Chains A and B, each alone.
Chain A
């Protein structure tokens, strides 16, 4: 057993060392820290046994995982055992949406009904034509003729039924073609048999020197033409996707940002289309095409859409798809030199300068309180608002009280460099856990950063790689219960992370802290410190417990370890008051004696001088 542990240790050591285990200290130094998440399992295109070419977004709703794939244009649903539940590329219309289409589109209902009757008539005509031809055959006896006619009639009934039951114009057209071909086949068989009988009779007659019967080859009439289709009948067809990038699933429905088709598809939970939004009624879209990338919805069904090359902010659409407003604009910051330069430049000169555009959002996720967590690209000189929490008023209210502004990596190499990855993190998705804890995904270095609601960096995870527990091109992440799912676009897999003991304790301590149970939180923070002595955030948690308990000196000590100046100051103030209160007698005595002594000395000096 001992030997086994030793050998297994040898094998797992490099694995353990390769995991990124760091955090940023108060002074911004990279320090060793325990990881909060560890690899649990994975499911991929292969284990699901479905096509998942370049998946783009992943959403958790209830105990189901929804994945949208832009390569195979499919919506994939996975259950909580990570088995495939459904994979859909076609979505039929719901009854209500169909009725609305008939109401709203001019002449649609009319052309639809005429199309159905035209098709039925055409099939009937083809049937009659075939029946006529069969009855006209000379050599076939009546029993066979009846047999063929029966076949045709039976098929005809089937086809007519298909046409009348289906709701899709394309199926009707196909049925007509099918009917033509099927009838033709039966007619051919009948003609062949007829010819066979004729040949037999001719041979018989030749043998017995009888009068030769005359066989005239049968000429088949032209097939009935395919009925032409009115153009707007396409509206009634099944809807398919074209390179969809964004997805959101809520009680109100499934929202797909169908990027290639430049529209938003709204499905109900039976995967039927209940609405399609294409046109956005705003001046911006008179010059720019509406290309939705990411979408999120609030509890009432208002949609918040990130669109390509729209710099005004996140587009807010009402439940019926009408344009409301832009929300959460990324501010631009000009340096003083830029402002100075622009001050004396003419308009023509300013036009020639490179445009200062606000950076675009990369993803949006709605919290249960209808606040939008958004990630955006860093602008050239400002990477401080890469993570935003946009309130219903459209203002960024993210709390940034941690040691550093939440923005992924703090320390990175600036400027061009061919040998290492440079520049700030590129955050592409954000997932919300309980108690205000959220995790962001850095696609540049394949790392996961978890923050608490105050903006403290709790732990960092993940590493780029091709192994099972690593990802090379993370595009989306979501919390699935207590587990974190990361969608890898390149490897077409979803990696499931679970919390380590350390991560669990940190989250639990924060939960206790949020609900005001400081004692329980402090006990957990103590345990966290055993697991990770470098963890400065934990000292603040313990300090707050001591502060509440009135143990000010201890609180000060812990706040000093945790560099929480605000609370240190509060603890110190109470400590100082206590000290003054306890020693008031002595202090008063000193305050009285010093002036007295001085006065006495002066008097003595005066006497001496006199």
Chain B
């Protein structure tokens, strides 16, 4: 019984508290080590699952996705990549900007901030199947609110974890965005170069094979 209570505390009450009282909540999150990495990772996993389920089981009336093109691995990869990119970029930016947050804490904040998306997204996904086209506005509204709350939690989390002011946080977010783009660019460049090197090496091997 106690165990169940603890789980509920970790997965529901504390994230809710974070959402409603971000300053107190994130203070406890950081100083009293109330945030748990496992919870954050589970939230990330649940978010990836939600995306897959939405792809397949969202109400027929607003689901414009081609069921033939579903790719679960790709969905998981997209979520993982986005989060890794954001966390790394934010960490690299905020270390230079005297942020007090650690890498692990940034990752945890990112995971926890997915809480509204999960807590609203799953029921909304279920209920979307019982709505008509006119009522679909409620579903889109719910999803919109979920995304807004996620943004709110992420913003407040970053603000508190690094102990920034309002404008510094906005600046940090913008710089994070830039850093993410730079990383993406470098990644693409890297892949392209690697591809060419591989092609070059395989050409050499082929040539050697032919000359033998």
Which residues of A are in contact with B by a Cβ distance under 8 Å?
A: 27, 29, 560, 565-566, 568-570, 572-573, 576
Majority secondary structure of chain A interface residues (helix, strand, loop or mixed): helix
Question: Quick check: A565 and B133 within 8 Å, CB to CB?
Answer: yes
- List 22 contacting pairs A-B, 8 Å CB cutoff, sorted by A: A27-B66, A27-B68, A29-B66, A29-B68, A560-B60, A565-B60, A565-B61, A565-B62, A565-B133, A566-B133, A568-B60, A568-B61, A569-B61, A569-B132, A569-B133, A569-B134, A570-B132, A572-B61, A572-B132, A573-B132, A576-B130, A576-B132
Q: How many residues of B contact A (CB 8 A)?
A: 9
Please measure, in the bound complex, the distance between the C-alpha atom of A573 and the C-alpha atom of B62, giving whole angstroms.
15
Specify which chain A residues have a CB less than 8 angstroms from the CB of B66 in the assembled complex.
Answer: 27, 29
Chain B positions within 8 Å of A566 at CB level: 133
Could you tell me the distance between the alpha carbons of A103 and B43 in the complex, rounded to whole angstroms? 93
Residue of B nearest to A560 (CB): B60
Q: How far is the CB of A405 from chain B (nearest CB, A)?
A: 16
What distance in Å separates the Cβ of A32 from its nearest Cβ neighbour in chain B?
15
A569 contacts across to B, CB distance below 8 A:
61, 132-134
Using Cβ atoms and an 8 Å threshold, which residues of chain A touch B132? 569-570, 572-573, 576
B58-88 contacts to A (CB < 8 Å): 60-62, 66, 68
In the assembly, what is the distance between CA of A569 and CA of B130, in Å?
10
Within 8 A of A (CB), among B130-145: 130, 132-134
Alpha-carbon distance between A567 and B115 when the two chains are bound, in angstroms: 36
Cα–Cα distance between A568 and B131 once the two chains are bound (Å) = 11
Bound together, the chains give a CA A115 to CA B63 distance in angstroms of 83
Chain B interface helix/strand/loop/mixed = loop
Return chain B residues, CB-CB under 8 Å to A27. 66, 68
Of the candidates A565, A570, A573, the one having the most CB atoms from chain B within 10 angstroms of its own CB is A565
- Determine the residue in chain B with the shortest Cβ distance to A569: B133
Question: Chain B 115-155, CB within 8 Å of chain A: the 1/0 string?
Answer: 00000000000000010111000000000000000000000
Complex Cα gap A191–B134 (Å): 106
Counted as pairs of residues, one from A and one from B, with CB atoms less than 8 Å apart, the total is 22
Nearest B-chain residue to A575, judged by Cβ: B132
10 tightest Cβ-Cβ pairs between the two chains A and B: A569-B133, A27-B66, A569-B132, A573-B132, A565-B61, A569-B61, A572-B132, A560-B60, A565-B133, A568-B61
Query: Measured between C-beta atoms, what is the minimum distance from A374 to chain B in Å?
Result: 31
Smallest CB gap from B65: residue in A: A27
Look across to chain A and name the residue whose beta carbon is closest to the beta carbon of B62.
Answer: A565
Q: Please give the distance in Å from B195's CB to the nearest CB on chain A.
A: 23
Q: Provide the bound-state CA to CA distance between A569 and B134, in Å.
A: 8
Residues of A near B61 (CB, < 8 A) are 565, 568-569, 572
Q: Which residue of B lies closest to A567 (CB)?
A: B133
Give A24 Cβ to nearest chain B Cβ, in Å. 13
Q: A565-B62, A569-B133 are in contact. List 5 more A-B contacts (CB 8 A).
A: A29-B68, A565-B60, A565-B61, A568-B60, A572-B61
Considering residues A29, A568, A572, A573, which has the most beta carbons from chain B within 10 angstroms of its beta carbon? A572
Residues of B within 8 A of A29 (CB): 66, 68
Complexed CA–CA distance, A29 and B69 (Å): 11
CB interface residues, B 174-210, toward A, < 8 Å: none
With CB as the reference atom, state the residue of chain B lying closest to A572: B132
Report the minimum CB–CB distance from B177 to chain A (whole Å).
21
Complex formed: what's the CA distance from A568 to B62 in Å?
11
Smallest CB separation, B138 vs chain A (Å): 14
Nearest CB on B from A353, distance (A) = 31
Closest to A559 in B: B60
Measured CA separation A71–B71 after assembly (Å): 58
A131 to B99, CA, bound (A): 127
Provide the bound-state CA to CA distance between A489 and B134, in Å.
Answer: 52
Residues of A within 8 A of B68 (CB): 27, 29
CA distance A576 to B132 in the complex (A): 9
> CA of A394 to CA of B99 in the docked complex: distance in angstroms?
64
In angstroms, Cα B130 to Cα A284, docked, is 59
A573 to B61, CA, bound (A): 12
In the bound complex, CA of A566 to CA of B60 (Å): 11
CB distance from B21 to the nearest CB of A (A): 26
Interface centre among A568, A569, A570, A573 (most CB of B within 10 A): A569
Q: Which residue of B lies closest to A28 (CB)?
A: B66
CA distance A572 to B60 in the complex (A): 11
Question: What separation, in Å, do the CA atoms of A448 and B61 have in the docked complex?
Answer: 32
- Distance between Cα atoms of A573 and B66 in the complex (Å): 24
Chain B neighbourhood of A576, CB < 8 A: 130, 132
| Residues of B close to A568: CB separation below 8 A | 60-61
| CB of B56 to closest CB in A, whole Å | 14
Chain A: minimal CB distance from B2 (Å): 17
Q: Which residues of B contact A565 (CB under 8 A)?
A: 60-62, 133
CB proximity of A387 to chain B, nearest CB, Å: 24
B137: min CB distance to chain A, Å: 13
- Chain B residues with CB under 8 Å of A560's CB are 60
Q: Which of B60, B62, B66, B134: most chain A Cβ within 10 A? A: B60
Q: In the complex, A29 Cα to B66 Cα: how many Å?
A: 10
Q: A27–B62 Cα gap in the complex (Å)?
A: 14
Contact with A along B44-65 (1 / 0, CB 8 A): 0000000000000000111000
Q: How far is the CA of A560 from the CA of B61 in the complex (A)?
A: 9
User: Closest approach, in angstroms, between the C-beta of A28 and any C-beta of chain B?
Assistant: 9
B62 contacts across to A, CB distance below 8 A: 565
A444 to chain B, nearest CB (A): 27
In the complex, what residues of A have CB within 8 A of residue B134's CB?
Answer: 569
Nearest CB in chain A: distance from B139 CB, A: 13
Q: Name the distance in Å between A397's Cβ and chain B's nearest Cβ.
A: 24
What is the CA–CA distance of A540 and B134 in the complex, to the nearest angstrom? 20
Q: Specify which chain B residues have a CB less than 8 angstroms from the CB of A572 in the assembled complex.
A: 61, 132
A449 to B68, CA, bound (A): 26
CA distance A27 to B69 in the complex (A): 10
Measured CB to CB, the closest approach of chain B to A569, in angstroms, equals 4
State A569–B131 Cα separation when bound (angstroms): 8
Nearest CB to that of B63 among chain A residues?
A: A565
Task: Tell me how far the C-beta of B132 lies from the nearest C-beta in chain A, rounded to whole angstroms.
Answer: 5
Residue of B nearest to A573 (CB): B132
Q: Identify which of B61, B130, B132 gathers the most chain A CB atoms within 10 Å of its CB.
A: B132
Alpha-carbon separation in the docked complex, A155 to B115 (Å): 112
B63 CB, nearest partner CB in chain A, Å: 9
Q: How far is the CB of B127 from chain A (nearest CB, A)?
A: 12
* A50 to B14 CA separation, bound complex (whole angstroms): 91
